[in-house]
Structure 1
């Protein structure tokens, strides 16, 4: 399945991108001179690019928009003017351009003990070249993978870009993968080298090492090695390998690279089968970074440096585009959160770094919302009234998109909004993102009321990241915005209401799935349009609204087509106690629903616990329930809570467009969905087939007895 994700941005998204003029078959000599002529860090590298302008040349022999071959080349979706005509760039060309323009600016930041350390763009590029030479020394072959298995770090970025410079594929592997899942990815990309974070991740690879015939070396980038093995290196040992290697071999490889060749593989989560290797070209990454940055007006470092916090899985294209490629184009600096970011330390990192942009999956925003509500509930009566008044003013002002802020808005901003932003570490943040799963309207409106507008974007791994963007002057609540410049959207086979499959066109569209021609043909039609598998429609102003996924569409026994997400979101909004909701009803006579309750999460394992969250406890008290654990509610044990849930579902059913869309039966499960439990993917996306299998007994119980006549 395709990985779709949504972003949300608050306020303006300041400017990236250089106007490079009309498309040429190759990069002109004077442009190359301008990019690399004054690079002080590596004379050899600069001379290599200057003497061989073939780097960046697109093969005239590529006639197809897609390929599934690791050494394949594709026809780029070029235009004669505008963004479509931007000259194609390799990753190396984009990087060397950044070094020339922003060489002395900080590129990366990480924490050692209590101190933040930084690395400039000059040193960043130099270190990536050293890593690339190290990979070549270890036997990395062209078009083979370098798998990276670990939490976000300087080493992750350097391994990723080093692999690309050396002519291999950068391949992120989710840290939550089992040994067998790691084996599949490593085998599929024919990985020569695997880079792992620590002993825990190393053990996964050692378990399957004898089943990886292409594997030549393993590198551990954190902690000391607990055991010595042949071809197992520490990060320091690995970097030493490349430090004294001559530049000639690497320069020749870089000079031979073309923008329409693959450089990165993004593996889908494998929700409905084996993961697919999404092949992304140099041009996919560099062009998307250019166009997206320009569209959102991202500022260059010599004006105001953008600051990013990296903590979401870099195996996902959304995190890569925001953490690696967009900052590189604008000279931004990326700081790395601690590995326990989602276990509590992220809040401290945000307050220390004060990012100018921030991305969070919906669960991160929901956790912030829950925490603020919990703190607010304990405030004095006066403070609660002031906060409530300010939020009302903030919501209405932003909904009306007023250009002139009224006096009461300015007062609310002074009394409440600035303090909230500072407490969150978002006082400098001009844009906030969310991705990987849908976010509820309730959460959007909550942050909007705090003067943190969340502007939604939409895209997928197969589109190198974003496809549509919401902007301050082009915004609709719950819309994904408008298509980015140089791209097109088509609604395929729309129904009477305008709902149909969303299709993409543009230079951000992927090359194909590695070694999977049949799957590639399912995704890309004969004309080169990418079929997303998502259902959506445009309004009269061309704003895109997502209404569901084709594969998730429920078709009842009566033949009615029902997208589950809007109903699930409506239940979560009507019943704040609910953490996750999953609608059931495909080929069934009526709809039913599985529900989970908001509970605490184990900080070490990420597994759901039995204790209710503070917000859930407060909600129970307000209902008159004394429950403190999920086990005291599930299975109908707490009649007060069950009555409240039924009341919320009744309100949702009242708004149903037909009787077939009413939820007739439901139950509360004993534990919440989670990544360790298998119900959620690495990006918190609901794995419906897994849930159907895990809870088949509960589901069958819904349909054992016929509905009572009403």
Structure 2
């Protein structure tokens, strides 16, 4: 049975029954996409009468429409987010949809309650003056309120825009201003303070909703979530239904902002069809089952302002009737593992750095365990490895309606990966030039990723064009394979970054694995158990990063050089060899500026921050 009355404030549950009766960096991902070189079939007219052949394949306007990339291998009729939710409601209405922990107890709401709360949110957004194709910004950690606000914004004809909780007030201002945010939904006092600093410079912002903390002091147009959801109760259902029914699959409903690692953040516009088609097809790549076969359970913890987490947690959850458990806000500081143990999800997604951190924890636990426990852990990990190796060839097979090709291939077969299909986003909001750079005349999206295809048609991602290092001799060097090889060879290394653009040879910046501060997630000076174990095997007694760097610990530095020598032995040619390196005194972090919100390395920032160290490599 549902404990919906305790999941959200009791007021949020009113009128549910009668409401039921009334009713990618750009939106695409390199992995699990179609791999083929076939010529494109002619674009077909969507079954939605509003999509005329004259409509463009891309747009930079929030109220624009695009021609959907539909072919015979992709027969799904384009539908809106509301249509997708209604289809799921008929099948999964009584199943639990969202689960959050309150006072140590999991409290759940069903899909029927979820839908009704989303309609209430939509009415309240309209009451506050949400304009068509204007934004609802959401600034907070994953929660039922995040999901309900997002779905409600779409129902109301707005565009949901997630904002990273790590963003500064100025970064929040840029996104809110660019997307013409009408209403901002924030989690707590910390996030509210950011908006209060910039509110006077946001001409489109009409109201702010606070969904966790209580309002510290009354302020015009500042509401608690309970107050907010009551605002639209007098709005006729017919008013909302008219807006819902006017929505088309080829219109924008979601904005995903890039992290801005290479300039101003770009708002990637996603259509209803981008969301509903991707939820229906790409989720099946992980063998996710619809709830009528088996209800999947997942843990939501990655930033929902990122497309991968939003698709996997929010939209796919609606499409297939999944039960979504929300992790604690300090999930990435250590509590995630406890949530996973308790929930035991049937499927779990993580960016590479998350999996690396989990592996580091496992190795630390193994190092501190007795003989039998070590043997059992090793046995369990070997079984998991064998299972994953056996099924790894399911990756990269063509998905109906999606295609991939390589352009500008080099002699080794590396070229830019380009996409075509219904996963391809609409364009960058208010950035026509950037949008034109992303698409060619046939509508292929140029991803900026480098990759190669093997003889069986499987795609391998080898780097980013913007990350590509071009040496003084004109050699193209993708840095990521070299960096990955160094980290694999040297388990003491946390981050490795290749340097050498316009230089005569390659060098490398290294950081060592250190324990994270449990309160801030910032790296400390203390080496991890795995790193200390590596040091001991080299004959060093070091336990701190500062000890190693200050004394240039001979044993450890020699071991690092030997590891790099092994990597160099397997290099494509001498140009790909690392000739100089340095160990930095502190690991990379989000707070330090070297990593983005999704733990992506910000290469330009690192180059600027460690300019002195980089210059020292190339002094004559």
TM over 0.5: yes
Q: What is the CA distance between 1:676 and its match in structure 2?
A: 1.0
1:330 aligns to what? 320
- Tell me the alpha carbon deviations over residues 634-681 of structure 1, each in whole angstroms, 9 at most, x when there is no partner: 255311111111111111111122221111111011110011111001
- Tell me the alpha carbon deviations over residues 197-242 of structure 1, each in whole angstroms, 9 at most, x when there is no partner: 0000011111111110100001111111112211111111101112
SS at match of 1:181: helix
1:653 aligns to what? 568
Q: What is the CA distance between 1:389 and its match in structure 2?
A: 5.9
SS at match of 1:180: helix
| Pairing of 1:604-643 with structure 2 (within 5 A) | 604-643=519-558
Match of 1:75 among 49, 67, 74: 67
Is contact 2:92-2:111 (8 Å) kept?
yes
Q: What is the CA distance between 1:25 and its match in structure 2?
A: 5.6
Q: What is the CA distance between 1:331 and its match in structure 2?
A: 1.0
Match of 2:260 among 260, 270, 283: 270
Q: What is the CA distance between 1:550 and its match in structure 2?
A: 0.6
Question: Is the aligned partner of 1:309 residue 2:284?
Answer: no
1:279 aligns to what? 269
Alpha carbons of 1:98 and 1:592: their partners in 2 closer, same or farther (altered >3 Å)?
same
Question: Is the aligned partner of 1:474 residue 2:393?
Answer: yes
Q: What is the CA distance between 1:581 and its match in structure 2?
A: 0.4
Q: Distance in 2 between matches of 1:290 and 1:609?
A: 43
| Pairing of 1:493-572 with structure 2 (within 5 A) | 493-572=408-487
1:116 aligns to what? 106
Alpha carbons of 1:89 and 1:146: their partners in 2 closer, same or farther (altered >3 Å)?
same
Is contact 1:361-1:683 (8 Å) kept?
yes
SS at match of 1:690: helix
Q: What is the CA distance between 1:620 and its match in structure 2?
A: 1.3
Q: Distance in 2 between matches of 1:472 and 1:484?
A: 17
2:167 aligns to what? 177
1:65 aligns to what? 57
Q: What is the CA distance between 1:326 and its match in structure 2?
A: 1.3
Alpha carbons of 1:113 and 1:505: their partners in 2 closer, same or farther (altered >3 Å)?
same
Q: Distance in 2 between matches of 1:369 and 1:504?
A: 32
Is contact 2:46-2:70 (8 Å) kept?
no
TM-score (norm 2): 0.91
SS at match of 1:263: strand
Is contact 2:136-2:182 (8 Å) kept?
yes
SS at match of 2:446: strand
After TM superposition, the structure 1 stretch with the greater mean CA deviation from structure 2, 487-496 or 146-155, is 487-496
Is contact 2:25-2:257 (8 Å) kept?
no
Is contact 2:31-2:396 (8 Å) kept?
no
Moved over 6 A (4+): none
Is contact 2:545-2:586 (8 Å) kept?
yes
Q: Distance in 1 between matches of 2:339 and 2:135?
A: 32
Is contact 1:281-1:511 (8 Å) kept?
yes
| Pairing of 1:127-142 with structure 2 (within 5 A) | 127-142=117-132
Is contact 1:596-1:672 (8 Å) kept?
yes
Match of 2:183 among 193, 197, 219: 193
Is contact 2:468-2:476 (8 Å) kept?
yes
Q: Distance in 2 between matches of 1:139 and 1:484?
A: 41
Note the residue ranges of structure 1 that are not aligned, 5 or more in a row.
9-22, 27-55, 395-446, 455-470, 706-710
2:385 aligns to what? 448
Q: What is the CA distance between 1:245 and its match in structure 2?
A: 2.4
Alpha carbons of 1:501 and 1:140: their partners in 2 closer, same or farther (altered >3 Å)?
same
SS at match of 2:70: coil
Q: What is the CA distance between 1:308 and its match in structure 2?
A: 0.9
- How many residues align? The count is 585
SS at match of 2:131: coil
